[in-house]
Structure formats: structure tokens, C-alpha cells
Structure 1
Amino acid sequence: MEFTMPRIRIIALLAALIALSSWLAACTEHDPVKPVPGSDDPFAKTHSDTFTLRAYALDSVYLAGTVNNWSTQDPAWQLTLDADGYTWRLITDVPDGLISYKFIIRKGAAMAWLTDPSAVEVDPGGGSPSYGNAVRGRTFVTPQALPQPLDRARLVIYETNINELSSTGSFAGAYGALTSGANLADLGVNALEFLPVTAPSYNGWGYDPVLQFAPNPSFGWPSTFALLVDAAHANGMAVILDVVMNHMAGSTPLRQLDDFTGRNDFTTTESNPFGMVEMNWANAALRAHMIDALSHWVSAYKVDGFRFDYISGEPYSTWVTIKTELRARFPDLLLIAEDFGYPANSVTYGYDAQWGGNHTDSWGGGGNNFNQVLITALTESGFAWRGQLSNSIGAFGPAYNNMWAVANVISGNSNYAGAATGDGFSDIKYLESHDENRLVWAVDNLGSSGAQGIGGSAKAFLGAVVNMTSVGVPMLFGGQEMGSSEYRPEGTSIYKVDYIGGDQDLRRAYKRLIRLRLNHPALATENVFFQWRGGNIDQTEYTMTYWRGSTNVSSQAEIVVACNFDHNDHAWDVPFPAAGTWLKYDLAAGTVTVTSVTGGSLALTVPASTGWVFVREDGVSGVP
């Protein structure tokens, strides 16, 4: 069908085209209108940014970088001093995309280039991050939050080093390890504790930080770390970061500032066991710098908590300051302290937990925390510090009441001065950590002849049973679930864990125990009931039985644990809280069998160095 446009419409269309042509012609006679920075214009090529430097006794501070062809005294890029006397600030427009920069500091005739101590990213340029360029402008999506808040009673922590978690030793490698290789999602842990990921002076453990805000560039970009946290959260795993607050590497820009001004504003002349530079927590600028750094990791990356290294390096007043500031900003943040004090420690001052599970009894030859007591019992010998080739703590034998010592650290500790009564989940309990020997190595090299005859690989199953059924927060160190057995000398050497060729039977045992730990109501309580045999026979045969219950009524307990720490088999009537059907977990054999209990006990022969777990089968609390 032929279509004819009405004459009036043709005239109107021609008029519109003439008007458009006139407007376009006018535009060519003038410079295009530049979008206003910070406006909603999607084509804006610049944005407002703020640069700050906390520093004392300087005459001037300039920014030099790709934004101004590295000019060292560009008036457009000069920072001004705030009224507080130490905060230098510049608010200006910067181009979108990545920019690199340094600060130029001057005092009298002296001038120095300084890496921004608050750099959120750094390009080391082949050298130390402290001499590299600060980088800004990399964007990433903020990670999703955890599906549920952290609950210490439902927490199993996996401590690991980014360097050791994958063959690449990178954030990307750790991202892959969540679902392959180490396959931590399959293992079932619900919290990852990473050794420091801040930019260090070398590519090692990270306990010598140079920059507190920036991820280690050898691990990857900030955006990749954000993806790692997001994926961990998507798999139900919290992310906890080890942080070092009381000392830093000598190459830190904060020390460079003090050296330049000839003062001790940010650092002190105090010594520490690590040969690092001590931080001056009495200084307001240093306190603000450190608290802002911690807050940055929570705000930008949604990390869920921190484990603070070397608590004894600062008075508790420092840790109270950190705790108070962080709690005000992030009330749900998990705060863990590496603190072995007793009876007063960081828990006394409001921290959620401390490493160890400390007690001061004289049993077990002097070991005073979970790690030392359990290693003494499993080696049937004693405890050695990492790197040592002989035991230095603990002793094993009937005279030392080792089973009472083990019972003490299995229980919750209600004796911390000032802590909530019976807060058993204020203890992080572990058989291995980055600071300790491998359990398998300790048994095979430092154990008694009887223990060595059993072997560290077999003893590891018993250790797993006790670790996962104790009151407190259990923690594994990367590779422990595979029976890793390398010798770790004193120092910060890196060892790649064999997640494919490791002990898969032990890993399956841990996987089953972790599932039990996170799902059974009895293991989310502090209720533990020890069943000792008369005549002190448990101390001479190195056996023990304990129950765990979801209520404080022992007859209602739903879990029975029978342990034999000796290198010989032992038979005894294992007491049960009730008759009925129970599920028997034989972790070493990899089986779960139905067991009928008809009286108040069950006659059992528990093999050497074995732990069995029995779960009341009531159709509700059993977790096969």
C-alpha cells in the first residue's frame, strides 16, 4: 500500500532539521563543555580524590607522579597542613584510571621522595615496596558479606600462608584453592586465617610489614584479593587476617619520616626479639594511622576479623585502644590475640579469643596450653619449639598425670581474670600453627620409641579427634589435614603443601569431624563430663573417656569420646550416659557403624593411639 506523508508534517520535519544543523554548527565554534568532576555524567574523565600524609616537622609536602609528569614542586599538587599539626592534605581532581605517585617532603634544604605510608596499592618496581610507587585508581566490586555473622561456638579456623596454599603462592592461587587443590570448601572449615597479606620487606611470612594498607604486590592486585574474600564468603568462610601492630620493617616509610626529621614520632628506639622497628603507640598520628589501616581492610574488603601478633610487645593499654576503636566502627569484628598470659590476658580486656587454651597446673611436666599438652601426650615424650631437635617442655609418665593435663586443656577455661565465667570459646586450640612443628614430624623424630613405633601418621588421627571435640575454637594449620610432615626450622621458609598426594584418609577424617563439630549441638557448648576409672588407672594406661552434651545434665550427653594415648592396646568398660543406639566413628578406619549399648557401659578394646567417637543416634543430633 502506498503511503503519503501529509504536507504539514513534511514542513515541520524540515524545520526541525534546520534547527538541529544550526545547533551543531554553533557547537563547532566553541570548546566542548567539560563534565563537572563528581557529577553524574557517565562520561566524566576525572574524579575528586584526597591525599593525606601524617608527618611532623616538615616545611612542605608535594605530590609527584604520572598526574604532573613527576614534577617535584608543582603548586597545583601541594599538600596543606591541617590544624592538628601533623595531617597534610590535598583534595583535587585526578584523571580516571591508574595513577602512580610519591610524596616529596622538604625540611630546610633537604628533600626526599617518600612512598605514601597509607598507599592502598604499591608497585615495587622490582625492589622493596617502601621504595616503590603508590598506586591509585584500581576499582573493584566490594566483596559480599558473610551470609551469617560469626559464632565462636560454630567456628573451625584454617590458618594458612598465601605462599603455601597453592603452587603460584598468590591471591589467585588461594582463590582456586577454595574449590580445588586444598579444596577448603569441601573440607568444611568456615574461617580462613591468612598470615599477613600486607606489603612486607620480602616475599615471606609477612610479619615484617612495610605498608599497613596495601596488599603484598607479589601476591596480586587488590582487586584479586577482593575476589578471594568474595568467593570465601560465598562458600561460607570468614576471612581473618594476621596483623602486626607493634613493629615494622626498618624500611617502612614511617621510619623514613623519622630518619628525615631526626625525631621519633612514629617509631622508637626500643628493641624486640625480631630486630624490627618498634612503633610509637604514644603518638596520636601513629595511632590514627594504624586504626585507619585496620578499618580499610574491613571497609574495602569486608574481612571478618584480625589475629593480632605478639601481644606481649605492647602494654595492654595499647590493645584496649585498638579494641575500643574497632568495636566502635565494626561491632561484629572478631578480635583474636596471640597472648599466652595467665590468668590475665587479652580476653580480660575484651578480646574475643586468645591462642592456646592456657592453664597453669603442674601436670604434664609443665606444658601450659593445648598445643604443648597434646603434643607431649601424642609424642609420649615432650614438646619442642619449632626448629629444635630436642624437647624443652613437658614430660610423659604416670607421675606427671598426663591425662589430667589433657582433660584440663580439653575443658573450657573459666579462670581468666575478668573474663566472663566459663567462656570456653575464648581459646583458640590447635595442634599445629605457623609457629609450631608438624605433629607427624614431632612424633616421628622426637617421640618415645613406643610413639615412633606407632608413627606420627597414626597419631594424627587421635589428635584430630581430641582437637575437634574439645571446648573452644579448633584451628588447623595448612596441610595438617593431609598429614604434612616436613621439618620446619626456625625462620620463615616457605613449603608448598602437597594437597594432591597427601594423606587422603586423614583428610576424610578431618572432613567428617569438622562436619560433626559444626552441626552437633553438644559441641557448641562448654558441657564436658570426664569419666575416670578408679585406682588412677587412666594415668598409668594413658586412657580417658569424656562426654559432651547439649545440656549441663551428664545423663543427657549425646557424645562419648574414648581415647587411648598409649602405644599399646587397652581394654576397659567405657561408660555411656544412656543405653540405646549409638553411631561409632572410627576415624582411622574411615567407618561409621551402629553400636548398641544395653547398660551403663560398653566393653571395648581401644587400639593403641586411637580415639573413637560415639554419637547418640536419636534421629536429630546424629551427624553421620
Structure 2
Amino acid sequence: MAPRVKVEAGRPDRLGVNVTRGGLNVAVPAPDATAVEVCLFDSPDGAETARVPLPARDPRGIWHGLLRGLKEGQVYGLRVHGPYEPTQGHRHNPNKLLVDPWAREVVGQVSPDDATFGFTRGGPDADLTFDDRDSAPFVPKAIARKPAKAPPPGPRTPWAATIVYEAHVKGLTIRHPDIPEEDRGTFRGVAHPAIINHLTDLGITALELLPVFAFSDERHLPGLELSNYWGYNPYAFLAPDPRYGTPDDFRAMVTALHAAGIEVILDVVYNHTAESDELGQTLSLRGLGNRTFYRTRGDGRSYVNDSGCGNTLRLEDPLCLRLVMDSLRHWVTEMGVDGFRFDLAVTPARHHGAFDPTGPFLSAIAQDPVLSEVKLIAEPWDIGAGGHHTGRFPAPWVEWNDGFRDAVRSFFAGTGDPGDLASALAGTSHLFEPSGRPPQAGVNFITAHDGFTLRDLVTYDGKHNEANGEQNRDGTTHNLSWNGGVEGETDDPAVQTNRDERRHGMMTALLTALGVPMILAGDEIGHTQRGNNNAYSQDNDLTWLDWENADWAFRDFVRDMIAWRKATPAVRRTAFFSGAVDPATGERDVTWLDGVGAPRVNSDDWTRDREALGVLWGEADTPGPLMFLAPRR
């Protein structure tokens, strides 16, 4: 039965659907629209019961209305009327139910059904056609929710004391035997003592979760009987993906982690959305205002694609920027997160096509009293022109240090240079020191979700991505890996010893270097993806951590190295090495050694011995020299 709704003008200042004493206040930015309707449903799977036109539009193009008679829990979607002129950048289609991008909660999943496309699928000019099928049965619905009280605050661990652990909600929990089956793969599973005890036993201080925003599959995956696993394909920026649980589940997880002294960092995607290119689905922003929310080319038909995912958000527009800022503040003030890792952070930081440290996105965060105080991590590149900018993000940002990754991988593959390894251990100062930031401006990592696991890095020379259905064409070929002489798993004890020594060496380098270390979940227990270095579509035991067959001995080594790091101020220093003498010891702050323990003084000392690097810290109460040995190939 349709609810009785009385409509008034309402307010345009708070975007989205907000629960008030008078009903639901709706404010939808759609500057090029001719009408906006709120569609009401009796249940997530139920029929549409009413369409309520919003009665007012402000000069910015925000349509708004107060819908009296409605309350929290109302299931809804949006329909937007306006020009459908793809060659002018307009793609309104009221036959397509749109997800409110400000929704705090969504239910359901995006279907690949043809009705979710704004055009009739076919040839190369298909997007110029107009499709009149109703997409409502095939798209998620939003649920009206009140703002929530945030969980208790986190520990606010200083960067110099931070140990980051990058994990996937499902992959971390789905196979853990101590977690109840109904909680596996969810926020509740992450909050389970089995996971929290593992993290605290290791010494982890910050859990960085792969994307948890509501997301959908890339359009080619259903045909391959695959699905998006990583989650880098969002369509709603304030709502957790319902597969992982409810907003309340998320807040309960944060509360449990904070109680254990662990911060929560979210990997967030503000460079593109799941709507893809001009042949993609109409799910939300495309139908609200294509030219407002996306960077387009020429006449507006095609999209700028600096993300490599079909489209790019247009953060130069105040309404688009508002969406991103509202989303970030929501996750801090209502959901309790302690920071963010920004996927392809160069893309939102572009202005007039080029990376701009003073552009709208970075400037908006810098002046925000909430966001400027949380942990901000940039992936400092994208695939667009001039897209690599490691070291160029402004304070208080820190950045993924790909230079560290490459130097350590190369050295322990037997192809690297001890000088590059020394630079990595010293915090890659040539990139980060010019900005006036400390060594903690660099987040050091050897492996991440994208690429080989640590075990695979010493087990495979080449990628093995056949399971992705793209004839092994996807994924990088620049792995800087070495299999030790045999491709894949082997029982050869000499090869196994070689691989084990290199795993230990790389993890030691990670946990003794200046900067902030990040560990990929599963590396500490020997997780393998069997050589797949692009497992974004592998929602199965290839990516799920195998707890029952864990390498507990290596886990213990990692735990002990983290404890060593926490007890050793020399590797947590907040100033780069300068070669200065420590008055307390009479030694330089760092001395680099060759394979026999002699100091490397000049260039000849660096070129003469390329198979070993020693490091001796000059601070008081610091252990003696540490030696890194390159493998003999």
C-alpha cells in the first residue's frame, strides 16, 4: 500500500535523504534535469508504490522537498527527467532507477540485466539510442537512515609507531575455523576475537580494509562466471556493501578494533564509479547529471579515463566535490574510521587535466577540520598522462613508496643494487625530504593486494592469471620476482631454503626501514595465489586466507620483527639520516657496510660488492650491524 505523503519545499542544504521530525527531507543535485522523483517501495524486493516529484529547485540545481508521512527505514530510489543527448553529455533517463549517492545504507545487488543500461545495447553507436525498460527490479535500493553516533575514538597512533596490515573483509575471515559460519566474510567476522587476537599478537596497529563501499561487477565479468572481489568499483560512497553487513555491523567492528588498540583505515575509491564508460550502466551519477559528476571529452559523449576504469569523477565541480567530502566526513564522524588510503589518488587530485597539489580536492581536505586530522594515504599515481607523483603530495599526506617496493624486490631477486636498497632502508629521502616531511611520509611495502603475495614473489618468475579469463594478458609483467630456479611449488629442499631465506630477508628489510611499514594480509602465514598477480575477480580459495595450513613459524618471525621494531628507536626516527655523529655514541647516525663489515666510504665501495649490504645504526642502545645478502642466481 502506498504511504500517504504530503510534500513541501523542504531544504536544499543537506544532500541526500535525511530523516527529520517532519518526515524525509530530500535534496538531490541534478543541475540539467527537468524533474526529479523519489520512488517509494514497500520492501527491498517489493513493487514501487509511489513516485513523488520534488517541488523545488535552487539556483545550484539542487532539487529538494520535505516528504511528510515518511520515516526512517523507508526504501527508495530516484528517477531523473531531462535531456537524453549523449553527444552533448546528457544521459538522463527516467526509466532507470537511480541509487541515491548519499544513501547511508543500500540493499540488493546490481544485476547485469540489459534494463540497467540507458540505451539499447548493440553496435558501436548503441549509447546514442534510448532504452525505455524499467531498471528498478535489477538495481539496489536505498534505505532512509538517521545519522548515527560514532564508535568510541581510536588510539590515534603516531605515524612513527604505526604498523599497517592491508586486508580484505571476506578474504581475511571466510576460511577461519574459529569464526562462526554465519559471520565469516563479514564485518562481524573481522570483529571476532580470532582475528583481533591475531592482529594484536602480531603487533599490528592499523587495519587497512580494501574497499567496503557498495560496489558492483565490471560488465565483462558475469559472462566469464566471475565477479568483482576487491571492490574497486563503487556506486554509493556512504553505504557499506550489504554483502559485508549493515552500517551497525561496521560500527560494531570499529568499536571492537578500537578497544584492542587498532585503528581502522579504509581503502577508498574516488577516482571513478561502477558506471564505467559510455557503454556502461546507468546506476546513479550518470542519470543525476553526467556532465556534473564526470570529466568528459570534446562534446561530452566520451569520458576522460585517467582511472583506467572507464570514467573519472569531476571533482572540479562543487557538487561532485561535495559528494566526496560528505562521504569522507560520514565515515569519520558516523562510522568511526581513523583514516583513508586513496586509490589512484592522482586522479581526484588532477585539476585542468594535470596533478595539482593545490587543486580543489587536496585543498578541500587540507582546510577541513575533521579530515585534515585523520590518516591520509595516497597511492601517488594513475594511468593518465604524467600520472606518477611519488613524493609530491602535501603534508599531512603520506604516500605508498613504490621505490621501496622495487628496490627490495630487485635486491632479493638477485638483480638489484645495494645502493638502491640502502636508499630504501633510509626512507627514500630523495623523494620525501624535499617536501619537509619526515621519513613517515613514505608507506613502505613489498606486496599489496595488487600483485604477487610474498610467497609467490619467491616462487614464480611470471604471472599465472589464466583463471581471470583473459588468456593471461592482464596483470603486470614487471614483477621483479625470482622463483629460485623452479617455477611454482616444489619439494626441492635447496630451492625451498632459498625461497625461505629471501622471504625472511624482505620482511626484515620492511620492518627495519625508516618510514611506515605495510604488511599484506596472509604474507605472515605464507598465503599463495598460485602466481595470480591480478586476482581482482577471484572470489574463491585462491584469494581467501587458508588459516588451517598457515606457516606459523613465519608468523612468529614476523611477530618478533615487529616487536623488535617497536623496541628500536633508530628505525622509528622522525628525521632522515644525515651522516651526523651521535654525541652519545661517537658514531654516525647510520653507517653502510659491505659484505665483510667494512664501511662503504666512496663510490668504489658501492660498486665493488653488490651482493651484500650491512647497516649499522649509531644511536645508543641499538643492536649491532644487520646484514642483507642478495641471492646467488
Q: Which amino acid aligns with 1:530?
A: T
Q: Distance in 1 between matches of 2:375 and 2:231?
A: 21
8 Å CA contact retained: 1:543, 1:565: yes
8 Å CA contact retained: 2:149, 2:334: no
Q: Which amino acid aligns with 1:558?
A: T
| Cα 1:218/1:257, change in 2 over 3 Å | closer
Q: Which amino acid aligns with 1:560?
A: G
Q: What whole-Å deviation, never above 9, does each CA across 1:259-286 have from its counterpart, x for those lacking one?
A: 5588522122223463422222232211
Q: Distance in 1 between matches of 2:393 and 2:308?
A: 27
Q: Distance in 1 between matches of 2:188 and 2:553?
A: 28
Q: Which amino acid aligns with 2:624?
A: V
8 Å CA contact retained: 1:336, 1:351: no
Secondary structure in 1 matching 2:460: helix
Q: Map 1:69-468 to 2 at 5 A.
A: 70-74=48-52, 78-84=54-60, 86-93=61-68, 95-107=70-82, 111-112=94-95, 113-124=97-108, 127=111, 131-137=139-145, 141-147=149-155, 149-167=156-174, 168-176=184-192, 179-180=194-195, 183-202=198-217, 203-250=228-275, 260=287, 264-267=291-294, 268=296, 269-272=303-306, 274-313=308-347, 314=350, 315-317=354-356, 320-327=359-366, 328-330=368-370, 331-339=372-380, 345=390, 347-356=392-401, 369-380=403-414, 395-396=415-416, 402-416=417-431, 419-421=434-436, 423-446=438-461, 447=482, 449=484, 452=495, 454-468=497-511
Per-residue deviation, 1:418: 8.0
8 Å CA contact retained: 1:62, 1:79: no
**What is aligned with 2:90?**
none
8 Å CA contact retained: 2:99, 2:236: no
| Cα 1:214/1:260, change in 2 over 3 Å | closer
Per-residue deviation, 1:201: 1.0
Q: What whole-Å deviation, never above 9, does each CA across 1:418-471 have from its counterpart, x for those lacking one?
A: 844462111111111011212222222332647946332332122221111100
- TM-score of the aligned structures, taking structure 1 as reference length: 0.70
Q: What whole-Å deviation, never above 9, does each CA across 1:127-173 have from its counterpart, x for those lacking one?
A: 379821101237865211013x2311111000011121111322122
Please, what is the CA RMSD of the aligned residues? 3.4
Q: What whole-Å deviation, never above 9, does each CA across 1:565-619 have from its counterpart, x for those lacking one?
A: 2447xxxxxxxxxxxxxxxxxxxxxxxxxxxxxxxxxxxxxxxx9xxxxxxxxxx
Q: Distance in 2 between matches of 1:83 and 1:346?
A: 40
**What is aligned with 2:467?**
none
**What is aligned with 2:474?**
none
Per-residue deviation, 1:355: 0.7
Per-residue deviation, 1:520: 3.2
Q: Distance in 2 between matches of 1:470 and 1:312?
A: 26
8 Å CA contact retained: 2:157, 2:205: no
Secondary structure in 2 matching 1:241: strand
**What is aligned with 2:545?**
497
- TM-score of the aligned structures, taking structure 2 as reference length: 0.69
| Cα 1:456/1:484, change in 2 over 3 Å | farther
Q: Distance in 2 between matches of 1:342 and 1:65?
A: 43
Q: Which amino acid aligns with 1:481?
A: E
Structure 1 gaps of 5+ residues are 1-43, 358-368, 381-394, 397-401, 549-553, 569-608, 610-624
| Cα 1:522/1:256, change in 2 over 3 Å | same
Are positions 1:474 and 2:517 aligned together?
A: yes
Q: Which amino acid aligns with 1:65?
A: L
Secondary structure in 2 matching 1:56: coil
| Cα 1:483/1:259, change in 2 over 3 Å | closer
Secondary structure in 1 matching 2:380: coil
Stretch deviating more after TM superposition (246-255 or 282-291): 246-255
Per-residue deviation, 1:248: 1.2
Secondary structure in 2 matching 1:213: strand
Q: What whole-Å deviation, never above 9, does each CA across 1:3-28 have from its counterpart, x for those lacking one?
A: xxxxxxxxxxxxxxxxxxxxxxxxxx
| Cα 1:462/1:61, change in 2 over 3 Å | same
Per-residue deviation, 1:215: 0.7
Q: Distance in 2 between matches of 1:540 and 1:417?
A: 28
Q: Distance in 2 between matches of 1:531 and 1:89?
A: 65
8 Å CA contact retained: 1:311, 1:339: yes
Q: Which amino acid aligns with 2:157?
A: L
Q: Which amino acid aligns with 1:326?
A: I
- How many residues in Structure 1 have an aligned counterpart in Structure 2? 486
Q: Which amino acid aligns with 2:615?
A: Y
Per-residue deviation, 1:239: 1.0
Q: Map 1:38-53 to 2 at 5 A.
A: 48-53=23-28
**What is aligned with 2:581?**
none
| Cα 1:349/1:273, change in 2 over 3 Å | closer
8 Å CA contact retained: 1:347, 1:419: no
Per-residue deviation, 1:226: 0.9
**What is aligned with 1:55?**
30
| Cα 1:80/1:422, change in 2 over 3 Å | closer
Q: Distance in 1 between matches of 2:245 and 2:571?
A: 38
1:559 to 607, 623, 626: 623
| Cα 1:557/1:281, change in 2 over 3 Å | same
Q: Which amino acid aligns with 1:498?
A: D
8 Å CA contact retained: 1:229, 1:302: yes
Select the structure of larger CA radius of gyration. 1
**What is aligned with 2:583?**
none
Q: Distance in 1 between matches of 2:439 and 2:189?
A: 35
Q: Distance in 2 between matches of 1:249 and 1:234?
A: 35
Q: Distance in 2 between matches of 1:273 and 1:137?
A: 32
Q: Which amino acid aligns with 2:158?
A: D
8 Å CA contact retained: 2:315, 2:360: no
Q: Which amino acid aligns with 2:397?
A: D
Q: Distance in 2 between matches of 1:126 and 1:541?
A: 54
| Cα 1:225/1:557, change in 2 over 3 Å | same
Q: What whole-Å deviation, never above 9, does each CA across 1:283-316 have from its counterpart, x for those lacking one?
A: 2211111211111111111211111111343333
Per-residue deviation, 1:196: 0.8
Structure 2 gaps of 5+ residues are 1-18, 85-92, 113-135, 175-183, 218-227, 297-302, 462-481, 486-493, 578-588
Secondary structure in 2 matching 1:278: coil
Identity between Structure 1 and Structure 2 (%): 22
Q: Distance in 2 between matches of 1:316 and 1:537?
A: 36
8 Å CA contact retained: 2:395, 2:437: no
Stretch deviating more after TM superposition (528-537 or 94-103): 528-537
Q: What whole-Å deviation, never above 9, does each CA across 1:201-238 have from its counterpart, x for those lacking one?
A: 13421111111111111111111111111111111111
**What is aligned with 2:554?**
506
Q: Distance in 1 between matches of 2:148 and 2:318?
A: 32
| Cα 1:196/1:319, change in 2 over 3 Å | farther
| Cα 1:230/1:529, change in 2 over 3 Å | same
Q: Distance in 2 between matches of 1:212 and 1:182?
A: 30
| Cα 1:320/1:418, change in 2 over 3 Å | farther
Per-residue deviation, 1:490: 2.6
Secondary structure in 2 matching 1:440: helix
Q: Distance in 1 between matches of 2:196 and 2:433?
A: 43
Q: What whole-Å deviation, never above 9, does each CA across 1:312-371 have from its counterpart, x for those lacking one?
A: 4333337743333234231311111111599964644334211116xxxxxxxxxxx111
8 Å CA contact retained: 1:427, 1:472: yes
| Cα 1:139/1:224, change in 2 over 3 Å | farther
Q: Distance in 1 between matches of 2:55 and 2:562?
A: 54
Per-residue deviation, 1:79: 4.6
